[in-house]
Amino acid sequence: AFVRRLQARAGAAVRVLALVDESGFRRRFTGLEGETRLQQRREAWRRLLDECGCQVVFADLSQAHRTID
């Protein structure tokens, strides 16, 4: 609901971008199972935000110099 309201308020000429910090998730889930779960989580975020017309960027903010996706 928040993203939809934000996009509506911004107007059609403005594209809302969601930044998803994966640092905590990456710390908790490691190895091959962690990568599988990370991909599932990303896909869930994409589906949710696509419905709102919002683009998503994934980043590990504990690694400030490196963007993921």
- The DSSP call for residue 58 is E
Structure tokens at 32: 């091959």
Structure tokens at 58: 């994934």
Query: Residue 20 above 90 pLDDT?
Result: yes
pLDDT band at 66 (very low <50, low <70, confident <90, very high): low
In sequence order, what are the beta bridge partners of 68?
Answer: 58
d(Cα 34, Cα 27) in Å, to the nearest integer? 9
Query: Residue 43 above 70 pLDDT?
Result: yes
pLDDT band at 4 (very low <50, low <70, confident <90, very high): confident
Sheet containing 67-68: order of strands: 17-21, 55-59, 67-68
pLDDT band at 8 (very low <50, low <70, confident <90, very high): confident
